[in-house]
Structure formats: structure tokens, C-alpha cells
Amino acid sequence: MEVQPDLDFIRYLKTAGGDTMKKCYQCATCSVMCPLSTEENPFPRQEMIHAGWGMKDKLLADPNVFLCHQCGDCTTYCPRGAKPGEVLGALRAYAYTALGWPTGLAKLASTAKGLPMLIAIPSAIIFLFWAISGGMVIPSTEEFAIHGYQRFFGHWDFHWLAKNVAFIDFFMLAAFGLAAVASYKGVTGLWKQMCEREGVNPDFKPSLVQLATDFVWPAIIEIFQHTRFRECGTNRNREVGHKPLMYAFGGLVIVTAWSMFANDIIGLWVPIFHGPMSFWNPVKILANVSAVAMIVGCGILWMNRAKAEEEENITPTFFDWFLIWEIMAVGVSGLVAELARWAGFVVIGYIIYYIHLVTVMMLFMYMPYTKFAHLIYRTTAMTFEKYRNSSFVKNPLDE
């Protein structure tokens, strides 16, 4: 078989954390240590060969690349210091860019050079909306105590939709919609490539209901329980950082849904539900606990990553650090904005709240192109793993 290496692909891997991959001499120690490895698929030994030869197409369609939880055992026990775990991390970073849509935005989010623009885009959009809304008038301390940030974008007398909600919904839903479309295009493209690689018959497939109940839902449950993190050795403590983040995001989803329903629907008829929540409101307590959990979980991952870079001589990458910075910025800015409201610091509060809106919009908008994309691509790979082992793909009579 003639191999046509993609030299640009190899160069990218070297700059994204895979700079040690050429040290690999195929001793198979990594495959012995990895629970994903089988006799038919010696993971990640096989992927290290493909990466070294620049075989991009084989790697982008390889579900094992996305199933890897970067437990670190392969890197720790590699006698040559080839760091397979970091190479696989670089492969995922490349995949999220290659599968990303629109292409320009995906490439922008792939490098530190794009960071100023990544911040500038949502900052400019929100600032523009703030300017045209008429909400740039800083309220008095008394008004701030009554309304909090609910008039950040001003106020109008239309009873059925608050001006603040209308403006925030416009750009936040647009950012979320962009992420949703990009995610759909990315995972459907990945699924098609995985099916072609595994030789799956496209005409023999489950219904959408069966796909959801038999394959997607079990994958989600496994992710929620963090089952595979318990198989890790070197980076077993990553579970301690990931779980608080997972619960924090779950809590904030509940808070956002309830706030929208109570404040903007029930509050139209029952005024007591309309307005900033008190400190002792159970939903507000959940919001604050979730924010703290987000900061704590992110802090643990921050320390773990810094420790790994120092002790294992791992090259720091933008891909690994951007999401940590971003989630920390969301949690800290939200909590500080809340403290400013309680303290009556109007100007500081409004500035921090603006920063908070920017960080939240960044989290939504860039989700498909950052490490946060694990959420969709790893779920897709785990779903495919269960699917390829089912009778839809394997004939039970052949076993």
C-alpha cells in the first residue's frame, strides 16, 4: 500500500502536543496498559503509527481517538517518552477543527493567535446591543438594589417580554444556535466517516427511537457515571475535577430554566416571581453552589494540568488551557457580579456583569471547536462503539 503522508498534519500535531510522537518505536507498552486495546485494534499503538506517517483520514474516522479519556497511563509507562496520550489529545484538537463549521471560526479557535479575536467578537456584539438598547445609563444604588441586572439593557413597558430578556435571548440564542448547527454537522460527518471505516452497511440501521434508547442513552449514562475514569491510573484524580463541573453545569441548567419560567412566564401574572431572587431562595442557593462547584472543579483540573506539565515535561497547549480559562472566567465573573450586587457596587457590578455575558457567549459559541466538544464527539464515539458491537453491525452467527 502506498502511503501519502500529510506533512501539514504532522507539523500541526507537533505544535499541538504531539511533538514527541517520533520517539515511538512500537514496543506496544501503551497497548498493554490501555483498557481500550484489543488484539484486533492495538490502541494506541496503531494510532501512533498512523500519526507518525501523517495518515490523517484514518485517524479522523477512528472512534478510539475520541473514546480515549487521556488517563495518562500510556504516557507514564512509555519507555521512550513518546507520550501517546498527548498525541491523541493533539489528534482530537485537530479533529474538532477539521470537523468544525464554519471553517473560519473553527480555525480561529484552534490557536492562541486567534484568542484576541475570539474575545473581541462577543465583546463587540454585546457592547453594540448594550449601546443601542439605551441601557448604558448606570442606575442608582436604590434602583440597583431593587432590579439588580434585570435592566442592564434598559426597560420598556411591554408587559409580555422584558427588554433585558429580549436582548439577551437574541444574541445568546444566536450563539447557541450556531453551536447546535456546527455540532450537528460535525457529529454527522464523524458518524459517516466511522461507518465507512468500519464497513457498516448504511442500509441496515436502527430507527431513531431505537438508536436513542439502545445506544445513545446508555452512552450518556456511562458518561454521567464517569465509569471509564475509574479505569485510569496516572490521572485517576481527573474524575474529582470533572464531576463537580458536570454537576455545576447541570445545576446551572436547572437554574436558568426555572428563572426563565418563573421570572418571564409566571411573573407576568404573579409579580412576586418577577425580580431578582433573594439570597435564601432555593434556586439562588443552587445557582451559587453550582458556581462554586464550577470554580472548584475547574481549579482541580487547572492544578492537575499544571502538575502534569511540570512533572512529566508535557508541552502546554492552547487547546488544553483555553477551556479551563474560559470556564473559570464564567464561574468567577458570575460569582463576583453577584457579590457586587449584594454589596451595592453598581459600576463595578455592571462592568463585571458585562464581562460575564461575554464569557458565557464565548462558552456557547465556541463549544464545537474547543475541548468542550468532548461533550458531543465522545458521546458520539461511545454511541458508535455500542452500535458497532450490536447485531446491526456484527452477525452473531459469525462469532
Tell me: the pLDDT tens digits for 217-274?
999 998 888 777 777 766 666 777 788 888 888 888 898 888 878 877 887 788 777 6
Does any domain span residue 19? Answer: yes
User: Would you give the distance in Å from CA 63 to the centre of its chain?
Assistant: 18
Rounded Cα gap, residues 235 and 391, in angstroms: 35
Q: Is 57 inside any structural domain?
A: yes
Which has the closest alpha carbon to 340: 149, 143, 212, 73? 149
| pLDDT on residue 245 | 85
Residue 273 buriedness (CB in 10 A; 0-12 / 13-18 / 19+): middle
Q: Which band of pLDDT confidence, cut at 50, 70 and 90, is reported for residue 379?
A: very high
Residue 142: phi, psi to the nearest 5? -65, -45
DSSP 220-251: HHHHHHTTGGGG-STTTTHHHHHHHHHHHHHH
Task: Determine how many CB atoms are found less than 10 A away from the CB of residue 104.
Answer: 10
Residues 168, 66: one domain? no
Q: What is the mean pLDDT of the chain?
A: 87
Is residue 118 assigned to a domain?
yes
Q: Summarize the confidence of residues 109-134 as an average pLDDT.
A: 95
- Is the pLDDT at 275 greater than 60? The verdict is yes
139 part of a folded domain: yes
Residue 2 lies in a domain: no
In this predicted structure, what is the pLDDT of residue 395? 63
* Backbone conformation region of residue 275, classed left if phi is above 0, alpha if psi is from -120 to 50, else beta: left
Q: Is residue 1 part of a domain?
A: no
Residue 397, pLDDT score: 54
pLDDT of residue 348: 96
> How far apart (Å, rounded) are the C-alpha atoms in residues 46 and 38?
11
Residue 67 near residue 47 (C-beta atoms within 8 A): no
Q: Which residue in the block uniquely carries the three cell numbers 425580580?
A: 275
In the chain, the number of structural domains is 2
Do 87 and 213 reside in the same domain of the chain? Answer: no
Same domain, 173 and 252: yes
Model confidence pLDDT, tens digit, residues 88-115: 999 999 999 999 999 999 999 988 999 9
Residue type, 30: C
The pLDDT assigned to 2 comes to 59
The reported pLDDT for the residue numbered 234 is 67
Nearest to 57 by CA among 221, 196, 203, 229: 196
Q: Which domain holds residue 307?
A: 103-388
Residues 225 and 284 occupy one common structural domain: yes
Please report the pLDDT score of residue 1 as a whole number. Answer: 52
> Could you tell me if 92 and 178 lie in one domain?
no
Last residue of a domain, one of 69, 98, 127: 98
- Say what the pLDDT of residue 12 is: 83
Contact of 175 with 365, CB cutoff 8 Å: yes
Q: Please indicate, yes or no, if residue 323 is contained in any of the structural domains.
A: yes
User: The whole model's pTM is what?
Assistant: 0.89
Domain end point (choices 98, 119, 154): 98
Which of 76-85, 264-273, 306-315, 330-339 has maximum average pLDDT?
Answer: 330-339
**Helices (runs of H) and strands (runs of E) counted in the chain:** 18, 0
Q: Residue 398 gets which letter from DSSP? A: G
Question: Do residue 198 and residue 243 come from a single domain?
Answer: yes
In a domain, 187, yes or no: yes
> Are 144 and 290 contained in the same domain?
yes
| Phi, psi angle pair for 21, to nearest 5° | -65, -25
pLDDT digits (tens, 9 = 90+) for 181-219: 999 999 999 999 999 988 887 677 788 899 899 999 999
